[in-house]
Amino acid sequence: MNRANYPRERYPDFVHGTNGMGDITIPAPTLQTDPKTAAQAIADAANNHGSDLVIIAVGRLTNLAAAIDIDPDIATTCKEIIIMGGAYRTEGNVSPYAEANIFGDPEAAQFVFDQDIPLTMVGLDVTMQTVMDNDYIESLRTSLGDTGQFIHDITRVYAGYHKESQDWDHFPVHDSSAIAYFDQPGFFETESGRLHCVLDGEERGRTVFTPGDGPHKVCSGVNSKAMLARYHEVLSASY
């Protein structure tokens, strides 16, 4: 696998586009910016929703760690955290050991793991198993009107990156797999135990999972066919 071992401060625009949305034209915002930091917003959500709150993190865990630092009660009130990140039995995608979201801030990941909040890792072991190829994207485009066109447009840079770097005519479904786990956990095989993040040396950013008793789960398998069908179903409901 071609790896881009980029510095922590570099934004991966070569994967997602400079605006994070595949460089599509984004209309000017009509809403006022919330003055809260992301960490404060998470802390407030935990206070407002308590044990009903499920946090789905699809990027670095920096803001979540900062929120727990603001309000340690999140560790005892939050129902569950679902993260897209890490790798269990498979290799990483920015080093032989590390996945990009965890590699970007492994200290934050370890801090979150240490809180003993129920947490499920939806990592590369399953996100690399579910792929969207050109035919699938075209089926969305032709059957779902503006919604399908939007999905097509925002994935062009992402698809191009995988074509250029891997010569693939498909791309892995990372972030949406975490949402799918929340929506349909039965699509996934999981193992229970405890997660740890390596902070030093060449394995920095590696997620190490010890099966057994513990507050964490890792996804080790997925029904990709069912997940892609559900993805289409959910988009169809909004069309």
Answer with the residue of higher pLDDT: 65 or 11.
65
Which run of H or E residues covers position 83? Answer: strand 80-84
Quick check: 8 pLDDT over 70? Answer: no
Residue 7 in this model has a pLDDT that exceeds 60: no
* Average pLDDT over every residue of 16-32: 89
Q: Long-range contacts for 91-94 (Cβ within 8 Å, ≥24 apart)?
A: 91/1, 91/124, 92/3, 92/124, 92/205, 92/206, 93/1, 93/3, 93/124, 94/3, 94/4, 94/5, 94/6, 94/205
CA distance 132 to 22: 16
Q: Does residue 239 carry a pLDDT above 80?
A: no
pLDDT given at position 115:
94
pLDDT above 90 (res 151): yes
Task: Please tell me the predicted confidence (pLDDT) of residue 10.
Answer: 60
Q: At what angle do helices 134-143 and 145-154 cross, to 10 degrees?
A: 150
Residue 14: its pLDDT value, please?
Answer: 85
Catalytic residues: 174
- What is the token pair recorded at 160? 């191009």
pLDDT of 81-140, one tens digit each?
A: 999 999 999 999 999 999 999 999 999 999 999 999 999 999 999 999 999 999 999 999
pLDDT confidence of residue 56: 97
What does the pLDDT look like over 38-52, one tens digit per residue? 999 999 999 999 899
pLDDT at 9: 52
pLDDT (0 to 100) of residue 13? 84
Task: Give mean pLDDT, residues 54-61.
Answer: 96
Give the per-residue pLDDT at 70: 94
Number of residues that make up the chain: 239
